[in-house]
Structure 1
Amino acid sequence: MGVQPEINQRDLRSRPREIMDAVQGGQSLTVTRDGHPIGQLVPLRRRHRFVSRQEFAAMSRSAPGIDLDRFRADQDATADTYLDDPYDR
């Protein structure tokens, strides 16, 4: 990971559109005041909020199969089999 470019607060005030366009384009910047770093401008990670039915079906086709008996055995082996009250001590 390389060093982030620095901008001073004067640049931030005088070139806000250019700077915000750079951040929106994926650029991270360190903001300085009097030559000292005081903050960072970093792009937000974009999340997919919706997966189409076709996309979900395509992902499901390539998913590994599940052996339900083995899955249940794994759950039983790791589950707490004691039914005692944890506050009853």
Structure 2
Amino acid sequence: MTVQPEITQRDLRSRSREIMDAVQAGQAFTVTRDGHRIGELLPLRRRRRFVPRGEFAAMSRSAPGSSLDVFRADQDAAVGTGRTIC
């Protein structure tokens, strides 16, 4: 577990740009007032919208093999028609 740096309310007010840049870069902070912890500044988790081509290729190399016939049978079972989709 990583220890979050503590910053005072005054530091947050006077160094807000520097602190927000650090939060955007992934750093978390604990905010204190009068020596007491009052909150945390945490970066938001962002979902990736895509996987880079090289990363996808690396994941694909270690993926188990699949059969087109088994895939189609799974699709038919999911739809419940007993007919081949396509």
Give the TM interval when normalised to the shorter protein: 0.5 to 0.7
Deviation at residue 39 of structure 1 after TM alignment: 0.8
Q: How much has 1:32 moved relative to structure 2? A: 0.8
Instruction: State the distance in 2 between where 1:51 and 1:28 align.
Output: 26
Distance in structure 1 (CA, Å) of the matches to 2:49 and 2:9: 35
In structure 2, distance between residues paired with 1:26 and 1:51: 20
- The gaps in structure 2 that reach 5 residues or longer are 75-86
- Letter matched to residue 44 of structure 1: L
Q: For residue 5 of structure 2, what is the aligned residue in structure 1?
A: 5
In the TM superposition, structure 1's runs of 4+ consecutive aligned residues that sit over 6 Å from their partners are none
Q: 1:27 aligns to what?
A: 27
Partner of 1:36: 36
TM-score by length of 1: 0.59
Q: Separation in 2 of the partners of 1:9 and 1:37?
A: 10
Per the TM alignment, residue 9 of structure 1 is displaced from its structure 2 partner at its CA by: 0.8
Counterpart of 1:25, as a letter, is A
CA RMSD of aligned residues (A): 2.6
Q: 2-side partners of 1:7 and 1:30: how far apart?
A: 6
